[in-house]
Structure 1
Amino acid sequence: MRFRVLGDVTLVVDGHPAPLSSRRQEQLLALLVCAWGRVVPAETLVEAMWGDHFGPRAGKNLQVLVHRLRKSLDDPGRIRHDRSGYALSALAEEVDAWHFAELAEQARRALDRGDLPSAADLQRDALALWHGRPFAGLDGIPSLDEAAERLEQDRRRLLTERIDADLALGRHAEIIPELISMVAENPLAEAVGARLMLAMHRAGRRTEALDAYRRIRAALAGELGLEPGAQLRALEQAILRGDADASLDAGPAPGPAATTKDPAPAPDPPPFMLPAPVGDLTGRGRELRRLTAMVRGPSSGGPVICAVSGMPGVGKTALAVQAAHEVRGDFPDGQLYVNLRGASAEPVETSQALARFLRALGMPGTAIPDGLDERAEAFRARLAGRRVLVLLDDAADEAQVEPLIPPESGCAVLITSRAALTAVPGLPGTHRMVLGVLDDPAAVELLATITGRGELAEDAQAATRLAELCGRLPLALRIAGARLAARPHWTVERLISRLAAERDRLDELTHGTLSVRASLALGYSGLPERSRVLFRRLGLLETPDFAGWVAGPLLDAETRAAEDVLEGLVEARLVEYAGMDDLGEPRYRVHDLVRLHARERGEADEPPGASAAALTRLTGAYLALAELAHRRQYGGDYTVLHGDGPRWSCGETTASRLLEDPAGWLRAERLGLVTAVEQAAALGLSETCWDLAMTAITLFEAQGLFDDWRHTSQIALSTARRTGDVRGEAAMRYSLGTLDLFRQRYTAARPHLDAALALFQTVGDRHGQALTLRNAALIERVEGQAGTALRRYRPALRMLREARDRHAEAHVLGSIAQIHIELGRAVEATGLLETALAIYRDLGNVRGAAQILNRLGTLHLAQGRAAQAGDAFHEVLTSAQSVGDKIGEAYGLLGIGEARLLAGDLDAADARLEAALEIADEVGEPFLAARARLAAGRVAASRGDPGLAMTLLSRAAESFEEIGLSVWRERARQELHAVSTARPVSPH
């Protein structure tokens, strides 16, 4: 078996490609390959594949995915597992990326010992492993994108080394076609062009070599307005001279020696204003290589401009200063530096920075003009014909830096700023780099480097926890490391314990002149007043990310204006862009340490009551939007009760945009809804709390988010009891009872529903009574007490019609019809189902209609009509998939499987039932899973496989027993008895 990732992610079995069965499997395998055989933590895999959109069952989903990949590999041992994560078990020659790296290293060792033929052969073998861009088709996963870029760089480097080896071995003619193709692909690549010219010249094709030079020169002039570099010009002169020994390092053509009578006075030394480098850029090697490559790269007619942006403390200055020192030799005429203090309340004036540069470039102070424009002109004149590097640190905006840009194409500018600097026409072709926090391994390595403590390497868990408390922010990590280094008697656990309390964390992250708080305060002080208000109130949020609309209620402002203020905080790098949600809405996040600073500023600067008022508006906004989403989902305020808690409107335009897909909005805001319930409880807003918890059931029910359902209902129940809200207590007892029904925990559901019914009767809420009676009747129905169930359903139906709850009315009609189906009363059932279906379709409720169609399919099955049943269940499946209803999807698959079983199509039945069982296990639906196993047992029995049939039927019977469904348990036992008695008797 071979694993290919240098191109499409593919398995090769017995010499033939065997593509994996899903994109998720390809992603998982690619991530494991990137770890080079090391264990990848499960959390890292989940975050890489699902980003910020993974749910509480992400760990289970990963386990299922690993199981499927192992099945695809047909070798479970290939994916190793330990308590922290997973690893790929393979030899280097079995994984093309690993084999490529191994061959490249062998080639370098051959070069070191002067064995050119072996090196060239090894290089050629390594390059032959490539079939396209690494991890082709898996774009969008940052870690894979970065790994692909590293591999591409390694490939390009090795290709250059192989061509140079072939040139040294005299294989000029053989490599010319390859070099021609490479030049055609990138006519501006001077290094490749030089090698083509040299190969042609040495192969006796001098005229073609000079033609190649003219084509490259024309391309450079046409595209960039530049002449070829010194290497190409020198090579052209060597070829014109007929120099048989011409090489890539050919010097300029010899000329007459210059003669002078008197030596010229020694020029002033070039300015060198760079600060000392940090000396350690652990975790930033890739960024440093990228930045230095950009500075040394071609320009588009002017200077090369590179802008590095990022949040406070992320290490922008350290990276830029180190890069400037690395490329210093490329700029022999000097290096200029100024700290523009752009994040402070009083940035450096551009004219002051120009005066400093002019003095450094040799202009006497008395000769420096007064005006900004005149100083800028003098600065440009001083740089004419020079190669100078300019480092502009902590720039405020584009206007501040534009006059400081040199005019010459031989110059380069490095800019650091919290803002992105994207809006000035005078900065064309700027290369931009956004610097983020370090990943866990790099953060831990930086801590170990600063402290010099071996215990950090030995105790990975403690080191990772310390890095997390520092937010993996380089400034915070350096401070924590410096504190440990200065206090050798402190253990790592002691510092962790001191950082654990959020209120004290910024106090602890101070050492000497280094302070996270001071760095953040600098940015805060430079904000406009409205931005400072929003920044403080963002500290109130408890979710890992948030949508832009929340700025509206926090500021008590119109959404668009509030989002503009939020974008200002993004530009100031106090808020981060976190990606797009499924609706195409941008989401944002605040770094943990920034959030702590926002809370501190809120406690110090917010007027009394302002924070509570902002949170009340925010929870009211969530309630208003959730209520509207529910109405759009159900066709009205059906199967839900509302309280009188305050609402806050985001405006009709914003609401329409957000709720174009109500189910999608509920999914995107799941964590926000849960947190809003918690914050309403903390504020004592009982009616908002329980109303939001009940309205959010629309999401929890459809997506199988049972933990969220229980958590929010329990919080709201406690709040209602604490505040004496009897109706809220009734609503939440009803909600918890309904949840237990969904979980098939009927014994646990009864006390909740009984209590809810009594409380609703106390406050005279007939709608609440009707909903509770409806669900209590369901328990009687599934336990085979049809008469008792009907006696509950009938008064519930009357009260629901009084309340004009058409959705719940249709649900009750469907439930009564189910009783008739089970009693063999097809005519009565059909009429009720048709009425219920008409109500749901009139309401536009796709999910409700699918539930009725599911019952119609069941009726067709009972009557032996396989084709009609299949049509109904297919409609159920399509409807469920259209609204993202995983449970409905599983029921549709189950029904289709049972219909195909009835029709005798055992293969199709087996496939559908397996898919239904997989979803049922995924969302935690034991009744649905037991029914799928019951049907699958019948399929196995029909195939003549009694062993498998008995296993499936036994598990189904056990599940029905655990749930407490005696009727279904007996059905499974009858099937099991039929299979066991039909088995041939063993001769033993």
Structure 2
Amino acid sequence: MVALGPVGVLIGDVHANLGGPKPRALLAALMLEPRRVLAVDRLVDLIWDDQPPRSAAALVHTYVSTLRRGLGAVGAASVLVTQVPGYLLDVDPADVDHVAFAQYVAAARLADREHEYVTAAEQYRQAIGLWRGSAFGGVEARFARARAAVLEDERLAAEEGLARCEIAMGFFSAAVSRLTGLVTAHPLREGTRGLLMRGLYLSGRRGDALGTYREGRAVLIDRIGMEPGTELRELHTQILDGTVGAPIQQTPRRVPVAPKMLPRDTADFTGRHLQVEAVTGMSRSGLATPIAVVSGAGGTGKSTLAVHCAHLLASVYPDGQLYADLSEGSKTKGSTVVLGRFLRALGVNGADLPDDTEELAELYRGTVAGRRMVVVLDNVRGEGQVRKLLPGSSNCLVIITSRSRLAGITGAVLVELDTLPPPAATEMLTRFAGAERVATEPAVADDIARLCGGLPLAIRIAAAKLRLRPHLPLQALARRLSDHRRRLDELTVGDLAIRSSLELGYNELADVPRHAFHLLTLLDLPDFASWVAAPLLDTTLDDADEAVEQLVELRLLDVAGTDGAGRVRYRFHDLVRLYGSEKALRHETADVLAASFRRVFAALIAMVETAAVRMPGSTLAIPPTTVPLAELDPRLAKEVIADPAGWLTAETPAIVRMVERAHELGVDEASTTLITSLLSTPSALRNGCNGWQRALDIALTAARSAGNQCAEVTILTGLGQLCFERDEFDRATPSRTGGRGPSLSG
């Protein structure tokens, strides 16, 4: 529950949609005292400042319904409880940020009085870190403005308390930096100015300290016509005399603490039973330092699984949990910064932290030695990011999440996350969206899960949309998702978006693999071998293979298996392909795309004809080639020549799709030549009659549009042969009505 900023509700990473100002004012009133009933009459007075409309009581009930819909969309409708004579928020008070703020400040002041400055400073930092803007932002009711003013004063006091602790520990530059901003914003606060003067003097800036006093005196006289108070004047005299007391020179006690740095667990965690067991079972592995690397594509739920497992193991590792997000956009991505955070959380005095990263790592390993702890390192890009963050103790379990498999971390156990199979995907949607909702349209729920590609993040977003719009039939969402042009737009809710998840891997791509990603996704093949990237990129087979493997490493491309000749074949997840196509159309010019696709079509035609001349004769003649043949790489030619029939069998689905794409992309002469070349081989119609019907229809249209009668004859013959294969003998007979031939589509 957010009060220290714009009033709202945050569940995990999702902000609830709470409606307009009045529902937010109602929520703010209930947040003042969690788990206390506020009567409807009292709520009316608070929301309308004692000047309510006649329908105020009814409006309160309407606003409650609005809030429940918004809360329900993030799975929190039950927290708003009806209880005579009004309503209450049934949440842990510590989950309301202004209450948590007060608790942190109270703990900080207690430690401050005991001169335990490390503990006090950390508590002050926790308190200040809860603020996201002006308190009770967006609520203009009188009660909210009054409470916001009190909270703002308490925030300033907490900032001063933290600065006072920093001065006591000798961190003068940090204190001066903090206090300078506070004095600028609040020039009449004499206590803040006095702390700044003290920090400046103790850091050797006596002249600046005296200047700060003169400036403050001038402001006070100018604005309120008064001289500074006694304490500020006495401090000024001490600075002049050089008698300001030095900070307490003591090393605060290093009190062992059990840090609780984990993000919130997912209450409705679903599935992944084998993976959860694999991670939690490592607590019994007996390894020198148990390390689990949870790897998978963006949106498969790596972070969710890691945090869930860490929470499950809290009792097994009672000395605490450390957590750091090392993603590109995170402020804590550097090893040095993370080590400092971890050590302070473990009770190490900030003044004791060495500047050298290696020394920090040694201190970290020594501090966790003997403790039973879980360390979660989230969104890791490479092994180098985490080597210094690994404990040297078998008492600690490390859980790492990464798109990469991080094979360079010795002894790590890999836990793979893939997309969910159809039954599990539908089960997840059912749990998130509600069993009653799904029961009304169970087949449509299967379609939605399929259109989400079994990706947990996509399913969670789809379910959130259904909760957000309880009136929306499942069929309506399925229809929107079926439109590939808007699917990624539909898979966005609040601050959750498939695009954002895929962006992390995409941003790590170097220029060549990024170019390959654009072209391969736009080519849109059902699966392909890495050779396809060579003509697309106009590069060598080795460079093409390297670019493709980099896409696999970043989980933007999946390995589909191997074909009959032992070649690895690759496939894009549907949502990744849509994302890549968007990027391609945005960043690649039309000329580059046309040239790239012409090269790959030319290469494929050359390979087909290389295969055709080495296979038994066919009843169809090879038509004149209208697209210049590519000069085949000797390795490709050798592969085709070694097993032409096997090569054609493996490539036929891709060839059929390339005929379609050539036509869709306006390269009709390539689609015509490709299909007529293929029809010259005896294996042309042995694989997938439905695909051949589609490809032949397209090629026939292209041949007729180009006026290529030779190609038209060959394609019509192929259509007749296809009908023969289907035992559709009447449709295989040429028309005697004077037309150009039978319509064989459908």
SS at match of 2:734: helix
Structure 2 residue identity aligned to 1:308: V
State the alpha-carbon separation in 2 of the partners of residues 710 and 583 from structure 1: 27
| Correspondence for 1:203 | none
| Correspondence for 1:349 | 334
Q: 1:284–1:753: structure 2 CA closer, same or farther, 3 Å change rule?
A: farther
State the alpha-carbon separation in 2 of the partners of residues 741 and 409 from structure 1: 70
Residue 607 of structure 1 and its aligned partner are, at CA, apart by 2.0
| Correspondence for 1:610 | 592
Alpha carbons 1:693, 1:709 under 8 Å: kept: no
Q: 1:752–1:352: structure 2 CA closer, same or farther, 3 Å change rule?
A: farther
Alpha carbons 1:295, 1:305 under 8 Å: kept: no
1:307-342 CA distance string (max 9 Å, x none): 011111110000011111111222222211100005
Alignment of 1:461-540 (within 5 A): 461-540=443-522
Residue 478 of structure 1 and its aligned partner are, at CA, apart by 0.9
| Correspondence for 1:720 | 703
State the alpha-carbon separation in 2 of the partners of residues 670 and 402 from structure 1: 46
Say if 2:421 is the partner of 1:439: yes
Alpha carbons 1:617, 1:647 under 8 Å: kept: no
CA RMSD after TM alignment: 2.8
Alpha carbons 1:271, 1:335 under 8 Å: kept: yes
Structure 1 residue identity aligned to 2:518: R
Alignment of 1:211-610 (within 5 A): 267-299=255-287, 302-342=288-328, 348-422=333-407, 424=408, 427-610=409-592
Alpha carbons 2:291, 2:411 under 8 Å: kept: yes
Residue 700 of structure 1 and its aligned partner are, at CA, apart by 4.1
Structure 2 residue identity aligned to 1:509: L
Q: 1:374–1:647: structure 2 CA closer, same or farther, 3 Å change rule?
A: farther
Residue 477 of structure 1 and its aligned partner are, at CA, apart by 0.9
Alpha carbons 1:641, 1:694 under 8 Å: kept: yes
TM-score w.r.t. structure 1 length? 0.47
1:793-815 CA distance string (max 9 Å, x none): xxxxxxxxxxxxxxxxxxxxxxx
Aligned residues: 488
SS at match of 1:540: helix
1:419-468 CA distance string (max 9 Å, x none): 1111x2xx222110110111222222222222225131342210011111
Alpha carbons 2:618, 2:682 under 8 Å: kept: no
Q: 1:748–1:442: structure 2 CA closer, same or farther, 3 Å change rule?
A: closer
Structure 1 residue identity aligned to 2:476: R
More helix by share: 1
SS at match of 1:728: helix
1:557-614 CA distance string (max 9 Å, x none): 1111011111111111111112112211111111111111111111211123222322
Structure 1 residue identity aligned to 2:304: A
Residue in structure 2 matching 1:711, options 694, 703, 726: 694
Alignment of 1:676-715 (within 5 A): 676-697=658-679, 698=681, 700-701=683-684, 703=686, 705-715=688-698
TM-score w.r.t. structure 2 length? 0.61
Alpha carbons 1:684, 1:719 under 8 Å: kept: no
Alpha carbons 2:464, 2:493 under 8 Å: kept: yes
Give unpaired runs (5+ residues) of structure 1.
1-264, 760-988
Residue 748 of structure 1 and its aligned partner are, at CA, apart by 4.5
Structure 2 residue identity aligned to 1:496: A
Alpha carbons 1:340, 1:392 under 8 Å: kept: yes
Q: 1:624–1:452: structure 2 CA closer, same or farther, 3 Å change rule?
A: same
State the alpha-carbon separation in 2 of the partners of residues 687 and 567 from structure 1: 32
State the alpha-carbon separation in 2 of the partners of residues 549 and 754 from structure 1: 47
State the alpha-carbon separation in 1 of the partners of residues 717 and 399 from structure 2: 63
Residue in structure 2 matching 1:629, options 611, 631, 644: 611
Q: 1:741–1:353: structure 2 CA closer, same or farther, 3 Å change rule?
A: same
State the alpha-carbon separation in 2 of the partners of residues 412 and 329 from structure 1: 13
Q: 1:346–1:641: structure 2 CA closer, same or farther, 3 Å change rule?
A: farther
State the alpha-carbon separation in 2 of the partners of residues 477 and 705 from structure 1: 32
| Correspondence for 1:850 | none
Residue 649 of structure 1 and its aligned partner are, at CA, apart by 4.5
Alpha carbons 1:314, 1:474 under 8 Å: kept: yes
State the alpha-carbon separation in 1 of the partners of residues 640 and 416 from structure 2: 29
User: Share of identical aligned residues, percent?
Assistant: 39
| Correspondence for 1:55 | none
Alignment of 1:110-149 (within 5 A): none
Instruction: Determine which structure has greater relative contact order: mean sequence separation of CA pairs < 8 Å that are 6+ residues apart, divided by chain length.
Output: 2
Q: 1:672–1:701: structure 2 CA closer, same or farther, 3 Å change rule?
A: closer
Alpha carbons 1:666, 1:699 under 8 Å: kept: no
Alpha carbons 1:534, 1:566 under 8 Å: kept: yes
Alpha carbons 1:580, 1:586 under 8 Å: kept: yes
Alignment of 1:941-952 (within 5 A): none
State the alpha-carbon separation in 2 of the partners of residues 699 and 386 from structure 1: 70
Residue 296 of structure 1 and its aligned partner are, at CA, apart by 3.2
Structure 1 residue identity aligned to 2:256: D
1:776-803 CA distance string (max 9 Å, x none): xxxxxxxxxxxxxxxxxxxxxxxxxxxx
Alignment of 1:906-985 (within 5 A): none
Q: 1:755–1:689: structure 2 CA closer, same or farther, 3 Å change rule?
A: farther
Say if 2:649 is the partner of 1:667: yes
SS at match of 2:460: helix
Alpha carbons 2:296, 2:555 under 8 Å: kept: yes
SS at match of 1:433: strand
Residue 680 of structure 1 and its aligned partner are, at CA, apart by 2.0
Structure 2 residue identity aligned to 1:356: R
Instruction: Name whichever of 483-492 and 735-744 sits farther off.
Output: 735-744
Structure 1 residue identity aligned to 2:582: E
1:747-800 CA distance string (max 9 Å, x none): 5445289999x99xxxxxxxxxxxxxxxxxxxxxxxxxxxxxxxxxxxxxxxxx
Alignment of 1:148-187 (within 5 A): none
Q: 1:610–1:276: structure 2 CA closer, same or farther, 3 Å change rule?
A: same
State the alpha-carbon separation in 2 of the partners of residues 699 and 313 from structure 1: 44
Residue in structure 2 matching 1:733, options 697, 713, 716: 716
State the alpha-carbon separation in 2 of the partners of residues 374 and 607 from structure 1: 51
Give unpaired runs (5+ residues) of structure 2.
1-252, 742-746
SS at match of 2:355: coil
Q: Which structure has the larger Rg over C-alpha atoms?
A: 1
